[in-house]
Each structure stands twice: as C-alpha cells, then as structure tokens.
Amino acid sequence: MDYSRFYNFCIESYAKLPYHLCGGYAFRPMTLFVELTYRCNFRCNMCQFLDILDDPRLNERAKEELTTDEINRVVDNIMPLGLIAFTGGEPLLRKDLPELVGHAAKRHKVYLVTNGILLKEQMMDEWLALGCGSLLSPGFASLGVSLEATGKTHDDIVKAPGSFEKILANVKYLVERKKQSGKKFPLVWLKCVITSHNVAQLEDMYRLAEEAGVDMFNPITYYGMPSANRLAMDENIKADASASPVAGFDVNELKRQLANLRERAKTSPVQLRITPPALPDGDIVAAYEGKHNLADKVCYTPWSSVALSAYGDVFPCSNYTVGNIRQEPFLKLWNNAKMRDFRKRLKASRVFPSCAACCSMVMK
C-alpha cells in the first residue's frame, strides 16, 4: 500500500467539507504536530529553528515547556485515530517522551521524528510493542529518522562527527527487531532535507534506505524561512507569487536526481515520498529556482491539522499564532475568531507567498 497517498487522501477528504461549507469553522483536528522542545544536540545548517537554537536562553526556557499533562490534554481533543506527530528540536531530549508516546498511542496513530542519535534498544523495543495493528487502529505508526547524507557529509551537515554510523546502526536494530517480531508497524522512514550539500547524494541515500531495510525514503524540500518570521497576514497571493531562489543550488543535478529517484521507485521495496507530496517534480525544481508559481494552488491544511509549540502556542501553519492553551482551551482556539479569519483569508487568497515549499502543505 502507498501509505503516503492514503494519508493525504484521508486528511484532504476530511478538510474539504468544512473548507467549502463552514465559513471558517472546521471539524475537530485530525492531525496534531507537537513541537515538544526546541533544544537539540545537533546544529543542522538548514534548520528552520537556528534562530531559536542560537538563543542563549534556550536551555533556561526548558522550564517553560508544556508539561506532560498539558500535552496529553491537547492530544485527547484530537479526533480518535487521528495522527499525533511529535517533533522538535530533538524530541528524545524530553524525559517524559515514553509517557507521551504511550498516552497518545492509546487512541491515535503516533509519528515521531528524531535525529536518531539518542535512540536506545530498550526504547525501540517498547515502541515496537506499541506498533499499530493496522492503519485503522491506534498505536505507534511511524518513526522518521533524519539522515541527511551518507558518511562524513551527514556529519558535516549536522555538525556531529561520527553520528552517521551511530544513527544507521540504531535504524538497522529497529528494522531487524521488526523482522524478528513479524510486525509491520511502526513504519521506519529515512528523511533528509534537500540542500546543496546533499542533492548529488539523493539516489545514494535511496540505495542506503534499501540496504537498511526501511519502509520509506523521504526527501523534503528546503523551507528556508526562519521560524520567527514566516507569515504576515497582510500578504496576498499574486499571479507570480513565488519563493526566493536557494543560493548556490544546482537545479540541473536536482532534476537528474529526481528523475533517478522516480525510476528507482518503480521497482524498489522502499516507498518514495517526496515532501510536499502534492508538488510535481517541475514545481520542486521551480521552488529552488525561486520560480514556483503558487497562484493556481489551494491548501486545505488548516481545516484538518494544527501545530502546538513547546510553549503552548497554537498555530494553523507557518507560526501564525491564534492563542495559547495556557490562556484558552485548545478546542476554543481551534475555531476562535482569529483562526476562522485566518482560514477565510487563506481560502480567499488560495495560498500565501510564504507557503512555497512548506512541508505541511496539502494542495489541490
């Protein structure tokens, strides 16, 4: 089964009715992205949170992060069998992560994204035990491990010497334990952000994913806007709206690599998911050239999905905050006046210029 296509179909179908009929209101969210912490043990050169990571107050602000109970209360408000995606920063720096995963997996499908360096065998065994029985049952559904390139190139990108071999060993352990148990879930993904540092290695990375025995290889388009300055509500879509070009990027190499990936995917046991999944390869290349025309696109994401910051802010996309769960209950924020106004303006504009290459975009 094409898991990526199935998921995209579900969330798009879920969002379309309120998008067309409900005047800015939406059903209870189906997907929740939880940014558990902004602390991280890597310093990836393309990270959208570098402005936060460079803040000298970051570790001090750890005490301001949402508590276990606060996160669990929000999780309990998501549609049953919805998707709870735990991200960061590095989620494994949260000591309560096992409790958070265990709680969410009782009623929902859990997806965790990690750089993989802190994975432990006991932890992976516990997650394997929580694996979904099927796509229609709750449990631990997917583990996404960021491996940005092969060998030393990866280590240079994340600024962590020796990390590539350690991460790959952790991935192989989980894959082997899955085989021994006969379980399908959690699916294991290898993920990388497409940059000038690794674009020539994309096919090599796909080959590595096959050799490691993972379920999916997931190259992600580079979204270079800093977290603190992503979206202004006065932006209106124009006929030629596009992202800025990525400096020093070899688009011809990207074209070649994308073509090779698509060809390899025809016979590979490892599924290929290029994010955003709605973009054809020509649009991906155009995004890196700064020529990605968004004027004919439509995004349904804020009608089905929502993100929660480590400090309690709720945002429909691009860090446009509609409130904080410490001041107002989550479900009220989900359909409050500011959120409804955002949805109406997005629908009227179709998408905003800052949407270019957004990895959460679900587009027509």
Q: Using one digit for the tens of pLDDT, what is the confidence trace for 304-316?
A: 999 999 999 999 8
Classify residue 98: in a domain, yes or no: yes
Mean pLDDT of 48-55: 82
- The predicted pLDDT at position 226 comes to 45
Taking 50 as the threshold, does the pLDDT of residue 349 lie above it? yes
With 0-12 / 13-18 / 19 or more C-beta atoms within 10 angstroms meaning exposed / middle / buried, residue 265 is: middle
What pLDDT score does 228 carry?
44
Question: What CATH number has the domain bearing residue 244?
Answer: 3.20.20.70
Confidence of residue 295 (pLDDT cuts 50, 70, 90): low
Inside any domain, residue 288: yes
pLDDT tens-place string over residues 195-206: 999 999 999 999
pLDDT digits (tens, 9 = 90+) for 155-172: 999 999 999 999 999 999
pLDDT 10s digits, 5-37: 777 788 888 889 998 988 899 999 999 999 999
Q: Write down the mean pLDDT value for the chain.
A: 89
Asked if residue 364 is part of any domain, the answer here is no
pLDDT at 267 over 90: yes
Residue 134 lies in a domain: yes
> For position 319, what pLDDT does the model report?
64
- Please, which residues have CB within 8 angstroms of residue 59's CB and are 6 or more apart in sequence? 39
Residue 20 belongs to domain spanning:
3-355
State pLDDT tens for residues 98-112: 999 999 999 999 999
Is residue 361 situated within a structural domain?
no
Q: So what's the pLDDT on residue 350?
A: 76
Q: How many CA atoms lie within 13 A of 259 on its CB side?
A: 7
pLDDT for position 24: 94
Residue 345 lies in a domain: yes
| pLDDT (tens digit per residue) in 103-143 | 999 999 999 999 999 999 999 999 999 999 988 899 999 99
Per-residue pLDDT at 238 exceeds 60: no
Q: Does 105 fall in a domain?
A: yes
**Residue 192 binned pLDDT confidence (cut-offs 50, 70, 90):** very high
Q: What pTM, to 2 d.p., does this model score?
A: 0.92
Answer whether residue 233 shows pLDDT above 70.
no
Please indicate, yes or no, if residue 8 is contained in any of the structural domains.
Answer: yes
Tally of structural domains, the chain: 1
For residues 219 and 202, the answer to whether their CB atoms sit within 8 Å is yes
Segment 283-296 mean pLDDT: 78
